[in-house]
């Protein structure tokens, strides 16, 4: 699940981030989405 535009980070970091988002989604529906929103929000600062 890719969320937002993570063009500001290295492609390998983006790949790892997307894997982490997927992992959290497997644990609990919506958890990966919420994690991605927090990361995206932090990157935009």
pLDDT at 2: 53
- 3-state secondary structure labels for all residues of the chain: CCCCCCCCCCHHHHHHHHHHHHHHHHHCCCHHHHHHHHHHHHHCC
Q: Assess contact for 30 and 13: CB atoms under 8 A.
A: no
Q: Which residue has the higher pLDDT, 26 or 6?
A: 26
Q: Assess contact for 32 and 1: CB atoms under 8 A.
A: yes
Split at pLDDT 50, 70, 90, the class of 18 is very high
Split at pLDDT 50, 70, 90, the class of 9 is confident
Average pLDDT over residues 27-31: 97
Average pLDDT over the chain reads: 86
pLDDT at 6: 62
């Amino acid at each position: 699940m890719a969320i937002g535009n993570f063009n500001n980070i290295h492609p390998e970091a983006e790949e790892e981030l997307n894997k982490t988002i997927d992992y959290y989604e497997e644990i609990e529906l919506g958890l990966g989405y919420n994690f991605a929103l927090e990361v995206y929000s932090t990157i935009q600062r």
